[in-house]
Chain A
Amino acid sequence: MLLRFFLMGLDRKAGIVLAILAFLAVVVPAMTLWVPADSPFHLSIFTVSLLGKYLCFALLALALDLVWGYCGILSLGHAAFFALGGYAMGMYLMRQIGPRGVYGNPLLPDFMVFLNWKELPWYWLGFDHFWFAALMVLVVPGALAFAFGWFAFRSRVTGVYLSIITQALTFALLLAFFRNDMGFGGNNGLTDFKDILGYDIQADTTRVALFVATVAALALSYMIASGVIGSKLGKVLVALRDAESRVRFMGYDTESYKLFAWTLSACMAGVAGALYVPQVGIINPSEFAPASSIEAVIWVAVGGRGTLAGAILGAVLVNMGKSYFTGALPELWLFALGGLFVAVTLFLPKGLLGLGAQLKAKLPGRKASTLPNAQPADQKGA
Chain B
Amino acid sequence: MSAESTLLYLDGVSVSFDGFKALNSLSLVMMPGEMRAIIGPNGAGKTTMMDVITGKTRPDTGTILFEGDTDLTRLREAAIANLGIGRKFQRPTVFEPHTVWDNLELALKAPRRPLKTLTYAISRDDRSRIEEILDITRLSALRSRQAGSLSHGQKQWLEIGMLLAQDPKLLLVDEPVAGMTDAETEQTAELLCSIAGKHSVIVVEHDMSFVRALGVKVTVLAEGSVLAEGSLDAVSANSQVIDTYLGR
B245 interface hit (Cβ, 8 Å): no
A252 vs B112: C-alpha distance when bound (angstroms) = 6
A232 interface hit (Cβ, 8 Å): yes
A247 vs B120: C-alpha distance when bound (angstroms) = 17
Q: A243 contacts which chain B residues (CB < 8 A)?
A: 93, 95
Q: In the complex, what's the smallest C-beta–C-beta distance from B96 to chain A, in angstroms?
A: 6
Binds A, one of B30-38, B149-157, B180-188, B192-200: B149-157
A5 vs B149: C-alpha distance when bound (angstroms) = 30
Within 8 A of A (CB), among B136-162: 146, 148-152, 154, 162
Give which listed residue, A228, A235, A376, contacts B106 with CB less than 8 A: A235
Within 8 A of B (CB), among A189-247: 228, 231-233, 235-236, 238-239, 242-243, 245-247
Q: In the complex, what's the smallest C-beta–C-beta distance from A6 to chain B, in angstroms?
A: 12
Give which listed residue, B114, B154, B166, contacts A260 with CB less than 8 A: B114
Give which listed residue, A231, A242, A252, contacts B78 with CB less than 8 A: A252
Contact yes or no, A251 B81, CB < 8 A: yes
B56 interface hit (Cβ, 8 Å): yes
- Interface range on chain A (Cβ under 8 Å from partner): 20 to 34
Contact yes or no, B149 A246, CB < 8 A: no
Known contacts: A260-B114, A373-B151, A374-B148. The answer to whether A235 contacts B78 by CB under 8 A is no
Give which listed residue, B79, B98, B114, contacts A238 with CB less than 8 A: B98
Q: In the complex, what's the smallest C-beta–C-beta distance from A151 to chain B, in angstroms?
A: 16
* Residue from B81, B95, B151, B152 having most chain A Cβ neighbours under 10 A: B95
Binds A, one of B66-74, B82-90, B230-238: B82-90
Q: A256 contacts which chain B residues (CB < 8 A)?
A: 113-114
Q: B112 contacts which chain A residues (CB < 8 A)?
A: 251-253
Give which listed residue, B78, B107, B120, contacts A248 with CB less than 8 A: B78
B14 interface hit (Cβ, 8 Å): no
B102 interface hit (Cβ, 8 Å): yes
Contact yes or no, A242 B118, CB < 8 A: no
Q: A1 contacts which chain B residues (CB < 8 A)?
A: 119
B117 interface hit (Cβ, 8 Å): yes
Contact yes or no, A236 B117, CB < 8 A: yes
| Closest residue of B by beta carbon distance from A239 | B95
Contact yes or no, B86 A249, CB < 8 A: yes
Q: A253 contacts which chain B residues (CB < 8 A)?
A: 76, 78-79, 112-113
* Residue from A5, A228, A236, A372 having most chain B Cβ neighbours under 10 A: A236
B121 interface hit (Cβ, 8 Å): yes
A371 vs B142: C-alpha distance when bound (angstroms) = 12
Contact yes or no, A238 B97, CB < 8 A: yes
| Closest residue of A by beta carbon distance from B114 | A260
Contact yes or no, B105 A251, CB < 8 A: no
Number of residues from B at the complex interface, CB < 8 A: 37
A4 interface hit (Cβ, 8 Å): yes
B77 interface hit (Cβ, 8 Å): yes
B54 interface hit (Cβ, 8 Å): yes
A254 interface hit (Cβ, 8 Å): yes
A256 vs B112: C-alpha distance when bound (angstroms) = 11
A245 vs B55: C-alpha distance when bound (angstroms) = 11
Contact yes or no, A377 B149, CB < 8 A: yes
Q: B150 contacts which chain A residues (CB < 8 A)?
A: 373
Q: A377 contacts which chain B residues (CB < 8 A)?
A: 96, 148-149
Known contacts: A250-B81, A260-B114. The answer to whether A235 contacts B105 by CB under 8 A is yes
Q: A153 contacts which chain B residues (CB < 8 A)?
A: none
Contact yes or no, B96 A242, CB < 8 A: yes
Known contacts: A242-B95, A250-B106, A251-B112. The answer to whether A232 contacts B87 by CB under 8 A is no
| Closest residue of B by beta carbon distance from A372 | B149
Give which listed residue, A231, A371, A376, contacts B117 with CB less than 8 A: A231
Q: A333 contacts which chain B residues (CB < 8 A)?
A: none
A242 vs B102: C-alpha distance when bound (angstroms) = 15
Q: In the complex, what's the smallest C-beta–C-beta distance from A360 to chain B, in angstroms?
A: 15
A341 interface hit (Cβ, 8 Å): no
Q: A5 contacts which chain B residues (CB < 8 A)?
A: 118-119
Contact yes or no, A249 B96, CB < 8 A: no
Known contacts: A238-B95, A251-B166. The answer to whether A233 contacts B114 by CB under 8 A is yes
Q: In the complex, what's the smallest C-beta–C-beta distance from B108 to chain A, in angstroms?
A: 10
A239 vs B86: C-alpha distance when bound (angstroms) = 17
Q: In the complex, what's the smallest C-beta–C-beta distance from B78 to chain A, in angstroms?
A: 4
A257 interface hit (Cβ, 8 Å): yes
| Closest residue of B by beta carbon distance from A227 | B118
Chain A residues proximal to chain B, CB less than 8 Å: 1, 4-5, 228, 231-233, 235-236, 238-239, 242-243, 245-254, 256-257, 260, 371-374, 376-377
- The contact sample of 30 A-B pairs, CB cut-off 8 A, is A4-B121, A5-B119, A231-B119, A231-B120, A232-B120, A235-B95, A235-B106, A236-B106, A239-B106, A242-B95, A243-B95, A245-B77, A246-B93, A246-B95, A247-B106, A248-B81, A249-B54, A249-B86, A250-B107, A250-B166, A251-B166, A253-B78, A254-B78, A256-B113, A260-B114, A373-B151, A373-B154, A374-B148, A377-B148, A377-B149
